[in-house]
Structure 1
Amino acid sequence: MCFFLGWANPGPAFFSDTTLVCNDLVHVSLGDDCAAWITPDMILESPAGPASDYTVSIEDAQGDEVPNPVTGSFLGEILTVTVTENASGNACWGQILPEDKKAPQVFCFDAEIPCFQSPESVPFPPALDNCDPTPDVNLSDQTIDASDPCTAVVIKRWFVAVDDAGNTSAPCLQVLTTVLPDLPDFPEDIIWNCGDYLNFPNVVDPNPVTNNLATTGSGVPDVAVGNYCPYNVSHSDMTLDGCGASFKIIRNWTVFNWCSGEIVTQDINGDDNVQIIDVLDQTAPEISLDSFTVSANISGAHPQECTSQGFLPPPAVEEECGDWTVKIFTPIGEAQYANGTDGLNGGFIPAPGLPLGFHDIAYRATDACGNVRTDTVQIEVVDDIPPTTICDELTEVALTIDGKATVNAATFDDGSHDNCCLDHFEAAFMEDACGTGSDFSPTLTFCCEQVGNAPVSVRVRAYDCAGNYNECMVSVQVTDKINPELFHCPPAQTIDCDFYLSEIEPQLDLNNYVILGQFGNPVFEDNCSVQFIEFTVNRNINPCGEGSLVRHWKVTDPAGNTPVECNQFIFVEHVSDWVVQFPDDVLVTCTDSVPDAGYPAFFRETCELIAVSYEDQVFNVVPDACFKIARTWTIVNWCAVGSDIADVVPESSELELNADLDGDGILEADVFQDGLNTQNFDPAAYLLGAQPDGYITWQQTIKVNDPVAPLVTCPPDLEVCIESGDCAAQVALPAPDVVDCSTQIAMTASGDLGDGPGPFDNVAPGDYSMTWAVADNCGNSSACTFDISVKDCKKPTPYCVNGLVVELGQDAQFELHARDLDAGSFDNCPGDLKLSFTTNVTDTLRILDCFDLGEIIITLWVTDAAGNQDFCETFVFVQDNMGACMGPPLIAGTIENETGQGINQVEVHLNGDPDSVFTTSSDGHFIFENLTLGNDYTVSPTKTVNYLNGVTTYDLVLISRHILGTIQLSSPYKILAADVNQSKSVSTSDLVQIRRLILHLDTAFANSPSWRFMDKDFVFDDPQNPFLNDIPEVLSFNDLADEITDADFIGWKVGDVNNSANPDNLTALGDR
Structure 2
Amino acid sequence: FGVVIGFTTEERTLAVIRANESRLVRNIPVGQHTIRYTATDGCGNMGRGECPIRVEDLAAPAALCDDQINVSIGGDGRGNVMAEDIDEGSTDNCGPVTLQIRRLIDFNTDDCQIPAPPVYTPWGPDIDLYCCEAGSIVEAELLVTDVNGFTNTCSTNLVVIDNTAPTCIAPQPVITTCADLAADFDFEDINQLQTHFGMAEVDDGCGDATLTELTPVINMERCGIGSVLRSFQVQDPSGNTNRCQQLIQINASSSYQIKFPKDVIGECAMPGVDTLEIINNGCDEFMVRSEDERYEVVDGACYKIMRTYTVINWCEYDGFSDPVEVPRNLACLPRGGMQDVWVTRLTDGRTYYDADSDPFNGFPAANSRGTNCGTSQNPSGYWQQVNGNGYWTYVQIIKVIDTDDPVITVSQPEPFCSTNDACNAQVVLSFSVADACATSMSNITAAIDVNRSGQFSQTVNVTGSFPDFQISGILPIGQHRARLTVNDNCGNTVSEFIDFEVVDCRVVGLMCNASVTTNLMPQPPGVDADGDGEIDVAAAAVNVNNFILNATTDCTGPLRFTIHRLSDLENGTDIPFPNHPALVVTCDDVGPIPVRIYAWDSANNPYSIQPDGTLGGPNYTICSSTLTVADNEGLCTGEGTNNMGHLSGLILTEAGAPVSGVEVSPRNDMMDAMTMTEENGLFDFELHTSEAYQVTPYSREDYDNGVTTFDLILVSKHVLGVQPLDSPYKLIAADVNRSGSITTLDVIQMRKII
TM-score by length of structure 2 reads 0.33
Higher relative contact order (CA 8 A, sep 6+): 2
TM-score by length of structure 1 reads 0.24
